[in-house]
Chains A and B, each alone.
Chain A
């Protein structure tokens, strides 16, 4: 059996970068997230409705941004990882049709209540350069050797 890929606390270097996560936000992906979270608000699929509110297109729920940030952290950390803290502010709106990329860096390491944590700083940027999230902070508990 293949060993689960897990990043160990000892192997993490402060300053290392997480693999970037690219995501195309389409009407389909908005509808999928809306369905998965029982969020049937017209914000996420009704172009005429959102146009009346002055919005460019159906748009992403704020917690979907958090879900994508968490996905990036969990994939980087591997099968033993668990996100302990995640904090972000939204600086703009992500619309259907936008492409976004998430970047992350390890900004520190610590042991807190016996937990081995990698502290990360994350961002989310649209392909046109608009920053949606800047300096989100996270603590990811990682597996350790022995």
Chain B
């Protein structure tokens, strides 16, 4: 059935890659992210308000921790991409994002220095009604802070059209 998934491709399941940010997340990064989303929620920028809540200070918007391009020691590729990617032995004519499953274990804070570990959890082929046979690559990223505390888990599915 899985004719398009070679043994070599399959061997990527379980591979891991870990990166640690060179500095703390910072208040400016939180404010920039909120601004881009039109998000004026004071919990992301008002320290006095944050201290009056159960969070005890400002917290980052939940999904910001899952955006880790700035952690990677890369320079932009020819298309401008700078983040983590798996050099999979896979020729795809088209690439799509399938979706995300996030679990947030605790809020990310301005002083957090984030480490991300990416792991490929599955690669499988499936026939889709719209586009025929597609290859699904499921990755899981775990994010921790400088104390080794788990902040979030992000399972994402990327879809490749052969």
B143 to chain A, nearest CB (A): 13
- Inter-chain CA distance A83–B99, complex, in Å, is 17
- Inter-chain CA distance A28–B83, complex, in Å, is 21
B72 to chain A, nearest CB (A): 9
A136 to chain B, nearest CB (A): 9
Does B148 interact with chain A (Cβ within 8 Å)?
no
Nearest opposing residue in chain A for B72, CB measure: A38
- Inter-chain CA distance A89–B80, complex, in Å, is 26
- How many residue pairs link A and B with beta carbons under 8 A? The number is 131
Question: Are B53 and A35 in contact, with the CB atoms below 8 A?
Answer: no
Question: Are A63 and B53 in contact, with the CB atoms below 8 A?
Answer: no
Tell which of B97, B102, B156 touches A85, judged by Cβ atoms closer than 8 Å: B102
Does B69 interact with chain A (Cβ within 8 Å)?
yes
Interface SS of chain B:
mixed
- Inter-chain CA distance A19–B127, complex, in Å, is 38
B109 to chain A, nearest CB (A): 12
Q: How many residues of B contact A (CB 8 A)?
A: 44
Q: How large is the interface on A (under 10, 10 to 19, 20 to 34, 35 or more residues)?
A: 35 or more
In the bound complex, residues from chain B placing their C-beta under 8 Å from that of A64 are 37
User: Interface with A: B11-19, B39-47, B116-124, which one?
Assistant: B39-47
User: Interface with B: A10-18, A68-76, A104-112, which one?
Assistant: A68-76
A83 to chain B, nearest CB (A): 4
Of residues 23 through 71 on chain B, the ones whose CB sits less than 8 Å from some CB of chain A are 29, 32-33, 35-39, 41-43, 49-50, 52-55, 59, 61-64, 66-67, 69-70
Some 8 contacts from A to B, beta carbons below 8 A apart, are A37-B69, A38-B67, A39-B82, A41-B81, A43-B79, A70-B63, A74-B41, A79-B43
Question: Chain A: residues with CB nearer than 8 A to chain B?
Answer: 1, 4, 6, 23, 29, 32-33, 35-43, 49, 53, 61-64, 66-68, 70-71, 74-75, 79-80, 82-90, 143
